[in-house]
Amino acid sequence: MRVLVVEDDAAVSYWIGAKLNGSGHACRFAGDGEGALRLLAEEAFDVVVLDRMLPTLDGMEVLKRLHGTRHPPVLVLSALDETSDRVAGLRAGADDYLGKPFDFAELLVRLEHLARRHGRAAAPGDVLTVSDLVMDVPERRVTRRGVAIDLTDKEFKLLHILMSNPGQTVTRNMLLEKAWGYGFNPQTNLVEVHVFKLRGKIDKDFDPPLLRTIRAIGYALG
Amino acid sequence: MRWDSGPGGSRLAGGGLAGNRPGRRRRWRTRVRTLLDTRSFRQTMTVGAVFVVVTAGAVLWSRTLLVDLVKDHVTELLQRDVETQRQFGGLAAAPALADQVRYRERLEPETPRKRLVLDGQGRLLHGEAGEAGRLLAALSCDPARLTACATGRIDRRGDGGTLQALVVPLGDGGRFVSAYDIQPMLEQVKAVPLVAGVGVLVFLLTSVSFGVHFSSGTLRRVDAIAEALASYAGGDRNRRIAIGPADDEFASLGREINRTLDRVNRLVEEVSSVSSSIAHELRTPLTHLHNRLATIAEGCADEPLRRELEEGIEETRRIQRLFRAIMRLGEIETARCSMSMEPLDAAALLEEIRESYLPLAEEGGIALTVAAHPAPRLRGDRTLLFQAVANLVDNALKYAADGGAVTLSARIRDGWEELCVADRGRGLSPGQRALAVQRFFRFDPSGTVPGHGLGLAIVRAIATLHGGGLLLEDNGPGLLAVIRLGRHADRPPPLHDAK
């Protein structure tokens, strides 16, 4: 991936750059909004990491200027992490929003999702298949090796998210945001509990196991 | 800590067409009663009553004085008349006197004075016969027995009026009667206290109406202040007292109250934003700390040390979660969060929460159910209420005994929309219930039950934002947590039957 990191805090920006390079991704940096717009006009990127509080033009203003133009997907990375901030960021055109402080793994997974979605032409279809697991979305039916699997609404939603990104890591926070919506912070590890139940249904009686736990980050299917 | 029943709780009168007129009459009656209780009205009435008593006394007394004055005056007139007669021609012979009197009366203008001259045999020598008869009868004097008739000054009140007379014996045994009917004079005098009385009555009525006017004006302004303060106490932080155009004591009182409310608001905002800004300011150093630990842990070959470092990273995540909760609480308490009040399918909301927490409930062997009665259609912000009910369910599952039951329900109670979470666990004592909603309060100080102690504070803030509050009640046994939303207006009937 070619990543543009727009961040005025040098320590954070250096750290992200080092980690991205370590994961085999190329990075360019901008310390303010105007610099970011200049680089976006000159070079091609797969994804942009955008801080909100920036000198010259702040992140929201950058999003506003990008609106309506062809631009790579933008992940807003900000200490402004209240629900209203997230809603404002996403409404302004951000493709994802991550609050500070953050796990690099979480950031990397989200950037990879954005970059892949950007490169992919069509949205996942009505029938999703991962190995011998098949999901018919309109019919709300899941089978493995032809055997019907009965899922609750939440389990179905979680499996749908995982099957839409086969082989890709999906973080716990991403699952929570997508299955329960922004603004819900459970006091308990609800995602783990539901994924545990889901695993019992899709993997227990079948081989090989499809649902993998990615330690301390999230899950991947297939 | 006390829970307000919300703004306007018991003030709202029953609406509807049928209840309108009695309602208005009752309001009017209450208004009159409150008016009678005001200080200025009472003062006006007291002064008015004293004034009436004093004036009535003065009027009665002056009437007595006036009557006495009239009588004295008439007596003097009669005496002067007789004296004049004595000097003019003497009082010896009745026939001569009768001639003189006739002569004098021709010269005198018409007066209410009546004169009679009777000779020794009781014959009327002067005076009109009919009138003389009436006059003598009033004086209890029989002309046939003239000697038996009283002489001197005589006062008589009879049908014809009030008579004052002076009877003088003549030298030849006759009588000279000079009489005066004072009734017309008394009638005139009587009008004086009457006029004064009417004057006092008019004055009294005027002072009453002024009293009512000023009192109701005062009452209206005091009412407006009381109503504004009640609404402020009920949660309307933007409510202020309207200052009228007149720059009087109420205007300055209102200005002072408004200044105080502004200050209270500033303090409340400072208190709740200070925690938010502390959390916010600490995020950048926390990010750096987290990143450094992660980098060190990654390059660490020593397994035990790496595990320690990962514990440290987990600790930063816990702090992050706590910050998020503090900021969320501040966001809700100061109403900075995005909120959309919409019609809400309570049955669907509760069912989704049940499904979300069912795996956790099953782990603890707890039956998590949605009450079977039809769920009403409520109004509220779905995301916030989902969070609020979820927090209550989370707590109920943590503290409910194994094998217990947790029931979710939605209802209208006393006109309030409510979402309820009931458990059959140990419950809370009244003292604990008051403590439970405070920030960072935890019933399990050992820290073995996970949580940050902000769950109920967030629920309370969400309920307050909806215009209600969080009520913790006894479920006998267990705890009944009630999220009270706003008042239930007349809305469409229940949408669904809950499962």
Q: Which residue did the predictor score with more confidence, B88 or A104? A: A104
Set of chain A residues whose Cβ sits within 8 Å of the Cβ of B337: 82-84, 183
- Does residue A2 register a pLDDT over 80? yes
Domain boundaries, chain B: 87-184, 271-333, 342-487
**B387, closest residue in chain A (CA to CA):** A184
A196 lies within 8 A of chain B by CB: yes
Beta pairing class for A141-144 and B405-413: unpaired
Tell me which residue of A212, A19, A21 sits closest to A131, measured CA to CA. Answer: A212
- Amino acid present at B297: A
- In 10 A of CB A104, how many CB atoms? 20
Q: Does the distance separating the beta carbons of B320 and A103 come in below 8 Å?
A: no
Q: What are phi and psi of B248, to 5 degrees?
A: -115, -170
pLDDT value, residue B6: 37
B275 lies within 8 A of chain A by CB: no
Q: Which residue did the predictor score with more confidence, B130 or B464? A: B464
Q: What is the pLDDT of residues A71-97, one digit of tens each?
A: 999 999 988 777 778 888 999 999 999
Residue B104 pLDDT level (bands cut at 50, 70, 90): confident
B299 lies within 8 A of chain A by CB: no
Give the best residue of A19, A176, A187 to mutate against chain B (max B CB count within 10 A).
A187
Domain boundaries, chain A: 2-119, 127-221
Q: Is A49 helix (H, G, I), strand (E, B) or coil?
A: strand
Say which CATH topology domain A127-221 has: Arc Repressor Mutant, subunit A (1.10.10)
Set of chain B residues whose Cβ sits within 8 Å of the Cβ of A197: 359
Question: Both tokens of residue B420?
Answer: 């309820």
pLDDT value, residue A25: 92
How far apart are the C-alpha atoms of A181 and B338, rounded to whole Å? 14
- Does residue B23 register a pLDDT over 70? no
**B286, closest residue in chain A (CA to CA):** A101
Set of chain B residues whose Cβ sits within 8 Å of the Cβ of A183: 337, 383-384, 387
Q: Does the distance separating the beta carbons of B360 and A188 come in below 8 Å?
A: yes
Of A101, A185, A193, the CB nearest to B359: A193
- For the segment B440-457, the average pLDDT, to the nearest whole number, is 68
pLDDT value, residue B7: 38
Q: Which CATH class is domain B342-487?
A: alpha beta
How far apart are the C-alpha atoms of B463 and B466, rounded to whole Å? 5
Of B289, B355, B386, the CB nearest to A184: B386
- Could you confirm whether domain A2-119 is CATH 3.40.50.2300? yes
Under 8 Å between Cβ of A177 and A193:
no
Q: What is the pLDDT of residues B370-398, one digit of tens each?
A: 987 777 888 888 889 999 999 999 988 88
- Does residue B14 register a pLDDT over 60? no
B451 lies within 8 A of chain A by CB: yes
How far apart are the C-alpha atoms of B36 and B26, rounded to whole Å? 15
Set of chain B residues whose Cβ sits within 8 Å of the Cβ of A152: 355, 358
Tokens 């970059």 -> residue: A115
Residue B415 pLDDT level (bands cut at 50, 70, 90): confident
B483 lies within 8 A of chain A by CB: no
Q: What is the CATH number of domain B87-184?
A: 3.30.450
Q: What is the DSSP letter of A198?
A: H
pLDDT value, residue B1: 37
Give the best residue of A77, A82, A158 to mutate against chain B (max B CB count within 10 A).
A82
Residue B451 pLDDT level (bands cut at 50, 70, 90): low
Q: What is the DSSP letter of B282?
A: T
Q: What is the DSSP letter of A181?
A: -
Q: What is the pLDDT of residues A156-192, one digit of tens each?
A: 999 999 998 888 899 998 999 889 987 788 888 889 9
Question: Both tokens of residue B208?
Answer: 């009453």
- Amino acid present at B95: P
Set of chain A residues whose Cβ sits within 8 Å of the Cβ of B324: 81, 99, 185
Tell me which residue of A54, A49, A53, A29 sits closest to A39, measured CA to CA. Answer: A29
pLDDT value, residue A1: 87
pLDDT value, residue A122: 61
Residue B432 pLDDT level (bands cut at 50, 70, 90): confident
B286 lies within 8 A of chain A by CB: yes
**A158, closest residue in chain B (CA to CA):** B356
pLDDT value, residue B352: 92
Q: Does the distance separating the beta carbons of B394 and A84 come in below 8 Å?
A: no
Domains A2-119 and A127-221 share a fold: no
Q: What is the pLDDT of residues B30-45, one digit of tens each?
A: 767 777 777 777 887 8
The beta strand positions in B220-373, using DSSP E, are: 342-345, 367-370
When mean pLDDT is compared across A130-144, A204-218, B11-25, B158-172, the lowest value belongs to B11-25
Q: Which residue did the predictor score with more confidence, A209 or B283? A: A209
pLDDT value, residue A30: 92
Share of chain B above pLDDT 90, in %: 12
- Amino acid present at B392: L
Q: Is B155 helix (H, G, I), strand (E, B) or coil?
A: strand
pLDDT value, residue A58: 87
Q: What is the pLDDT of residues A25-57, one digit of tens each?
A: 999 999 999 999 999 999 999 999 999 888 888
Taking 3-state DSSP, the helix, strand and coil percentages for chain B, each rounded to the nearest 5, stand at 55, 15, 30
Under 8 Å between Cβ of B44 and B211:
yes
- B293: distance to nearest CA of chain A, Å? 11
Q: Does the distance separating the beta carbons of B451 and A181 come in below 8 Å?
A: no
- For the segment B486-494, the average pLDDT, to the nearest whole number, is 62
Burial level of A202, CB count in 10 A (0-12/13-18/19+)? buried
Q: Does the distance separating the beta carbons of B316 and A100 come in below 8 Å?
A: no
A83 lies within 8 A of chain B by CB: yes
B383 lies within 8 A of chain A by CB: yes
